[in-house]
Amino acid sequence: MDWWVWVILVLVALVVLTTVTAVVQRRRRRGRVIGLGDAGRNDTP
Amino acid sequence: MTAPPPTLLLRARELTGRPVVTLDGELIAEIKDVVFERAGGRIAGFTLRNPGLFSRSRKDTVPWNGVHGVGRDALMVTDETVLAPIEELAPRQAARKGDVLDDRVLTDNGRDLGRVVDVVLQSGTGLEVVGYEVEASEALGTAGRRVLIPLPATVAVSGENLIVPAAATEFVAEDLTGFGAAVDAFRARLREG
């Protein structure tokens, strides 16, 4: 393959990696609101 | 006679990322998750992560009895000795199942009110869950808009659905102003039967 094909592949891989990292980090930083305990819970509707 | 502490409404996700600081002024962590008890809706504590953009989650938590105060800009704790292991507050599996964000809110007569985007807390003597902020469905007549739904004292959950009494639809608010009064009126209605 020509050298410029490798350059494009590397750039595409970098963009994908950066996007995935940003999405994962955003989800992690969003935080959760967790309800614990059994009051009112009915797992078998 | 002492006056009751002033009540303040806030959204749970406003707390995410808030620094956790000791009374000595040391920054020890940031708030990651808010954990509440379904029975009574009281805040049980907070899970933590290290400060910084690419920070890791921590294996310790701040239980509510270790909180000195929840301020506008920081969560104050006496010192690091109040921290407790995460297994004591929110074991991993229970935490994963118990996350209410993105869950659907159903009335007890089967109407889908929308998807939870935040949880409304009321501060007073403690910090208590009093409502859900939902992205409203067609059933509320405000489809796509965010509205606030009051909750009874015990928060019912069935699988991935959050169940509220049908009367809650009569007390829906569009912002936090006056929502505290709507919660009080809703709970009074439930007590009257």
Least CA distance to B52: which residue of chain A?
Answer: A29
What is the CA A20 to chain-centroid distance, rounded?
5
Of A34, A40, A45, the CB nearest to B90: A34
| C-alpha span between B173 and B183 (Å, rounded) | 10
Q: Do B33 and A32 touch (CB under 8 A)?
A: yes
Q: What is the mean pLDDT of residues B161-165?
A: 88
pLDDT (0 to 100) of residue A38: 55
Residues of A in contact with B36 (CB under 8 A): 33-36
Q: Do A34 and B34 touch (CB under 8 A)?
A: yes
How far B6 CA lies from chain A's nearest CA (Å)?
Answer: 24
Of B17, B101, B156, the CB nearest to A40: B156
**Which two structure tokens, joined as six digits, stand for B74?**
């920081």
Of A28, A37, A42, the CB nearest to B37: A37
pLDDT digits (tens, 9 = 90+) for B89-119: 888 888 888 889 989 999 988 899 999 999 9
Indicate the SS3 state at residue B175.
coil
Q: ipTM score here?
A: 0.84
- Answer yes or no: is pLDDT of B38 > 60: yes
| C-alpha span between B95 and A33 (Å, rounded) | 9
Decide if B100 contacts B116 (C-beta within 8 A).
yes
pLDDT digits (tens, 9 = 90+) for B39-59: 888 899 999 999 877 778 889
